[in-house]
């Protein structure tokens, strides 16, 4: 789809260290998914992906949801300059809250 923005951080063997998937519409990227290989966590690959989106001049805002208890992800998004914009109650499995986070180009 033409609005799909997919990025990856490759390993030397051709597999992926991390990847991200978002949908871009009118300058806003809705980050749908970001994942890092378990062996590659805490090595900067996910932050590298977020920075690549932030450096794309077509993107002025990035929005996402993250489970309130996902502390590693919260630390990642804070390091990338995301701020809390709200809460979606019982968003995950109708039990767990999600925080709505956003980043804006300054």
pLDDT in tens, 51-85: 999 999 899 999 999 999 999 999 999 999 999 99
Q: How many domains does the chain have?
A: 1
Q: Is the pLDDT confidence value at 94 over 90?
A: no
Strand partners of residue 5: 22
pLDDT in tens, 40-58: 999 999 999 999 999 998 9
Would you state the pLDDT for residue 73? 96
Q: What is the pTM (predicted TM-score) of this model? A: 0.90
Q: The domain that contains 61 carries what CATH number? A: 3.40.630.30
Decide which of 30 and 92 is more confident. Answer: 30
CB atoms within 10 A of CB 62: 24
Going by the DSSP 8-state scheme, the letter that residue 59 receives in this structure is -
Q: Please give the residue range of the domain that contains residue 91.
A: 4-104
């Amino acid at each position: 789809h033409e609005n799909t923005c997919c990025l990856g951080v490759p390993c030397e063997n051709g597999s992926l260290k991390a990847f991200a998937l978002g949908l871009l519409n009118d300058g806003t990227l809705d980050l749908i998914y970001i994942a890092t290989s378990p062996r590659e966590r805490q090595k900067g690959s996910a932050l590298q992906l977020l920075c690549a989106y932030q450096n794309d001049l077509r993107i002025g805002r990035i929005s996402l949801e993250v489970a309130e208890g996902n502390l590693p992800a919260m630390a990642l998004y804070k390091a990338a300059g995301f701020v809390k914009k709200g809460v979606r109650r019982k968003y995950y499995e109708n039990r767990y809250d999600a925080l709505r986070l956003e980043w804006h180009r300054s």
